[in-house]
Amino acid sequence: MATVTFDKATRIYPGADHPSVDELDLHIADGEFLVLVGPSGCGKSTSLRMLAGLEDVNSGRILIGDRDVTDVQPKDRDIAMVFQNYALYPHMTVRENMGFALKIAGTPKDEINQRVEEAAQILDLTPYLDRKPKALSGGQRQRVAMGRAIVRKPQVFLMDEPLSNLDAKLRVQTRTQIASLQRKLGVTTVYVTHDQTEALTMGDRIAVLKDGILQQVGTPREMYEAPANVFVAGFIGSPAMNIGTFAVEGNHAVLGPARVELSPATVAALTPEDNGKVVIGFRPEACDVVSEEDGVSIPVTIDLVEELGSDAYIYGTLAGASDVSLGSGSEETSNQIIVRVPPRTAPGRGATIHVRIRPDQQHQFSAATGRRLPA
């Protein structure tokens, strides 16, 4: 096994005016499961392809263990990739697909069979070894692709959105299997996805990219509870965090009829560049319903209530303030507020509730830089 290091690795495509990956600095520990996540076009797949040797590195270095592989051919990097489209040979059986790379490498036939049988047992594929891909379900094909990577016993697994072709139920089941399998094998794994739910549930750590720039690296809990900036706050979490830009008035933040308390540390951290503004974020579960007389609350006019059995989600807008933006996600135009409440307690559509953010679950960000401010 091995560590993986991106040392200011940059990729600029010919004719592009800015890098697709810009000075990526990232260290992945031996045996770690790291998830690269971000919106489409953020550079996550390019980063993975740079590590695989399928994209040139214009500046910086990539190391696997202590070995600089920046200019090493893909076949000599001791990595194995699992693709979105499985990339199985349709005319070969499962056994032949899984053992093909070893056959090309000149591995003895007995050893190939042994490795294939071991991988098939791990992946519950033993009954399907003599079938061809067309006779398998999507989930089984994905496990065959995993098996083909496992039999090679590489130093690093690279997975490029391997679950995106599966239906929702199978995706949940398979992501659990992949995470469990990785921990059993202990192989360093870099996993690319645009689905932040996959990132939160699978990774030891998550690296969030935007426009080719690394935004934050941390454990799923760190990313959820202490996002480094407004983008990470709005991207990580489902439903997304509610975010709005408030005016600072003394030790309160005000947006239309909404009023939120600010700590002395937050007020002290504001700079002249913030121009008397602060960005406030709170997750749907971070609120308590209070009375209108509370005075420090956010009034929400209800548009829709989703009853989910164990929880209920209120979807609404800031009451009496149609021209202001306070809503779910990091998009500045969003005005849909999402609040989680106990089941069967929400009033009907058109009613107004007042919610107060719990102080220990309120997030503050600089209006000028978007960076996190002390609570």
Share of the chain above pLDDT 70, in %: 99
pTM of the model: 0.90
Q: How many domains does the chain have?
A: 2
- At residue 126, what is the residue type? T
CA 262 to chain CA centroid, nearest Å? 30
* Domain coverage including residue 274: 240-366
Structural domain contains residue 168: yes
Instruction: Provide the pLDDT confidence category of residue 11 given band limits of 50, 70 and 90.
Output: very high
**How many CA atoms lie within 13 Å of 217's alpha carbon, on the beta-carbon side?**
13
- What is the predicted pLDDT for the residue at 138? 86
85-138 pLDDT, tens per residue? 888 999 999 999 999 989 998 999 999 999 999 999 888 899 999 999 999 988
* 298-307 vs 33-37, strand pairing mode: unpaired
Residues whose CB is less than 8 angstroms from the CB of residue 91 and which lie 6 or more positions away in sequence, other chains included:
132
pLDDT of residue 331: 65
Domain check: are 181 and 251 in the same one?
A: no
Q: Are residues 276 and 224 part of one domain?
A: no
**94 and 156 share one domain:** yes
**What average pLDDT does this structure show over 301-317?**
93
Residue 291 has pLDDT above 70, yes or no: yes
pLDDT band at 177; cut points 50, 70, 90: confident
Q: Pick from 196, 216, 233: which residue ends a domain? A: 233
What are 334-352's pLDDT values in tens digits? 789 999 999 998 898 999 9
> Which of these three, 233, 258, 285, is where a domain ends?
233
Q: Work out the burial of residue 138: count CB atoms within 10 Å of its CB; fewer than 13 is exposed, 13-18 middle, 19 or more buried.
A: middle
